[in-house]
Amino acid sequence: MRKSWIQLLLIFSLLTACAVPAGNATGTQVTLPTPVVRVTRTPDSTSSVAHYLQAWSDSDYAGMYAMLTETSRAKINEEDFTKRYRGAMNAMALQKLTYSLGAPTTSPENASIIVSVIYTSAIIGDFQRDLVFPLTLENGNWRIDWEEGLILPELRGGNSLSMDYSVPARGNINDRNGLPFVEQADAVAFGMNPALIVPEAAGNVFYELSKVTGVLPGELETKYNQFFGQDWYVPVGEASLDATNRSYGMLSGMSGIIMTDYSSRFYDKGGTASQTIGYVSAVTKEGLDEYLRNGYSPEALVGQMGIEKWGEEYLAGKTGGTLYVLGPDGIILSFIGKSDSQPASAIQLTLDEDLQLQAEKAMGGMRGAAIVMERDTGRILAMVSNPKFDANLFSPGNYNGQSGLNDLFNNSNQPLVNRATQGQYPLGSVFKVITMSAALESGTYTAANTYDCQYEFTELPGRTLYDWTWERTQAGFTTAPSGILTLPEGLMRSCNPWFYHIGYDLYRQGRVTAVADMARGFGLGSPTGIGTIPEEAGNVVNPPEITEAVFQAIGQGQLTVTPLQVVTFIAAMGNGGTLYRPQLVEKIIAPDGSENQVFKPEARGTLPIKPETMKTIQDAMRSVIANPRGTASHRFRGMKTIIYGKTGTAEGGIPGSPHSWFVAYTDSAETSGQPDIAVVVLAENLGEGSEYAAPITRRLIELYYTGRPQSLYWWESAFDITRTPTPFGFDGTLTAQPQP
């Protein structure tokens, strides 16, 4: 017993000695380092699955594939993996993936998690499946042991999904009276073979083709002459089957006319107001996934421009369908869900179809734009951009499509650009309305101020500028200087030196931005807010030096505007100062005929001028028409409608070929019983405002009030028939002298 205690004592002593810090050679104690314990944690399998599901929701197929086990990646490459998911998601029109994770079952090297997934399909709605995600621990991370059932359990064994689509007819786009601009219809593509047309009968062929397709006879004659005598198919245009049948007896009896039937979305008269209404075409390859996920069929035609694009959600309706599971042999195994299609709504525009057609004829073969707007509401009744394009060419079934589209996209005149809203031009003398407003509002000028308007303006040191009367004299016309003019008379005569002087004088007074600020107050330099179609903002700058201020005062220099901006402020001049947001859409009409949504006129501001300033300018604009000395009086002789207007001639990049502008508003509602209108016309590179734009404006006003033209243009031999030689062309060149 005593021996055992001695042994325990020795052991205790030894342990105590080990616990004492060791000493060095000098007897100093040394502290040993504390051992570091490293713990390896196994990652959370739940977070790995959640990460995978989030990547799935984001269509991040590369991120999903990176989370597969090496064994899974050996069975399927990334390209096929992506194709499998993309194909399934597109087939089911998957819009959203919602999921919840159950508790994991885990062993040291493996785990599994049950995930409840709700698939939200744009076509068949929601359906739910439970997916079991097996995982394997690889290199310290949980990886997915993937198989096809992790897309959808029904896809195991190489099965696939297929949607049987039920597509509703696309909704109509109608004019303000309910007449269709665009509808689903059987149609006929027209062409001609010049070799088969008897030259003596060519005029009748052009007339009949023009009557049914809306293509002007002059354009048809040009095509015929281009391919004269050639055994060649020359595309002409399209017409509805109903319209064709009404003229079939005459058309079928004429040699050289070729007709081919097709069925599609049909644009009347080759696409009336084509840039405004737009067109539909097949979905591009790049955008196909997005459209399929949103419930479109792969063959869908979708809005690509104009109202067709803006109104897509109304015009497309809702596609229905049945989602099937197919075996590897293509045999239907089961279906997952189904829904019925829902018919589309129609869009009713503010445009008047007859006025629009007549306005397009009124522009003839000129490049440019024209707008007719209700003065007191902002509703647009007609909007022309010339040259137009044939929206039917985008239809896959149209025989004229392929060659027609090639010509369209290669057309240097850019028919797809809406010149009325996207064309940016110097405004020329129409801008003098704004300069006069700035002058009167400055307190420096009154209506009684005078200026001696001669050929030359010499106030800018070292530089001489000229009046339009001098330029007319140089062109061979005898046009005397205007002489001493009051400020309103300066607008009536459109005297350049008067307004050069205002720009020069205001700048020297320190009112550097007076004119530019007034322009912005009139809505220039910013979008009008039309919203339904694209528009540009134009450009208004604060003059950096006095020369720019002088040129800005007559609407030149760096200033640019769109015709839409101009008609908006001209309407405001006529209605007492209210700037309306231009309106193209009147209402959305549900399939049952009820009005889903009605759009009302919307004021967006007022002109920043006093009533007395407005009255002075209104009177001056009236004198442009009513006073024999007015720059446009000779173009409006004999008209009973009360019209206020302003000519504009703006240098437009081609020497000697300025842009021709005219603006007007009417004040005849009490006598006519019709709402008053504002009109703007721009003819590119054709000459002075009084030569081309003013006569076109007169015709548009005649068409609005009487339904038909009342007087010939000076360049016409008959209504809508240009005399030979033609005085203008899309190349902007003049081939005949303008008449005074």
Tokens for 435, please give them. 């300069």
- Does residue 553 sit within a domain? yes
Please state whether beta strands 380-386 and 368-374 pair in parallel, antiparallel, or not at all (unpaired).
Answer: antiparallel
* Domain finish residue from 300, 321, 349: 349
Provide the β-strand partners of residue 116. Answer: 100, 130
CATH code at position 175:
3.90.1310.10
Give the domain extent around 546. 428-576
Do 122 and 237 sit in the same domain of this protein?
A: no
Last residue of a domain, one of 297, 325, 349: 349
DSSP string across 639-657: --S-EEEEEEEE--SSTT-
Q: Which parts of 96-173 fold into alpha helices (H)? A: none
Asked if 174 and 111 sit in the same domain, the reply is no
> Looking at the structure, do residues 164 and 122 belong to the same domain, yes or no?
no
On whether both 173 and 311 belong to a single domain, the answer is yes
Question: What pLDDT is recorded for position 724?
Answer: 66
Which phi and psi (to 5°) does residue 221 adopt? -65, -40
Confidence of residue 728 (pLDDT cuts 50, 70, 90): low
Residue 13 lies in a domain: no
In a domain? residue 35: no
Proportion of the chain above pLDDT 70, given as a percent: 92
What pLDDT score does 215 carry?
86
Alpha carbon distances (Å) from 253 to 201, 216, 249, 256 = 12, 21, 6, 10
Integer-rounded Cα radius of gyration of the chain: 38
Query: In degrees rounded to 5, what are phi and psi of residue 280?
Result: -115, 155
Residue whose entry in the numeric block shows the structure tokens 């792969």 = 298
What is the tens place of the pLDDT at every residue in 18-66? 443 434 444 444 444 555 444 344 568 899 999 999 999 999 999 999 9
Together in a domain, 184 and 331: yes
Instruction: Indicate whether 659 belongs to any domain.
Output: no
Give 697-722 pLDDT, tens digit per residue: 999 999 999 999 999 999 998 987 78
Whether the Cβ atoms of residue 717 and residue 723 lie closer than 8 Å to each other: yes
Contacts of 466 (CB under 8 A, 6+ apart): 455, 456, 457, 496
- Residue 666 corresponds to which amino acid? T
Judged against a pLDDT cut of 80, whether residue 252 lies above it is answered with yes
| DSSP letter string, 354-418 | HHHHHHHHHHTT--EEEEEEETTT-BEEEEEEES---GGGG-TT-TTHHHHHHHHHT-TT-TTS-
Q: What per-residue confidence (pLDDT) applies to 43?
A: 64
Same domain? 164 vs 282: yes
Q: Are residues 566 and 462 in the same domain?
A: yes
Provide the mean pLDDT of the chain.
Answer: 91
Last residue of a domain, one of 559, 576, 593: 576
Residue 572 tokens, joined: 């405001």
Q: What is the CATH number of the domain that holds 106?
A: 3.10.450.100
pLDDT single digits (tens) 336-359 = 999 999 999 999 999 999 999 999
In tens, the pLDDT along 615-641 reads 999 999 999 999 999 999 999 999 999
Q: Which of 648, 680, 651 is nearest to 384 (CA)?
A: 680
DSSP 41: P
pTM of the model: 0.88
Q: Residue 143: phi, psi to the nearest 5?
A: -115, 155
Number of domains in the chain: 3
Element (H, E) at 209: helix 202-213
Residue 78 maps to a domain: yes
| Among 362, 188, 395, 361, CA closest to 282 | 395
Confirm whether 412 is domain-assigned.
no
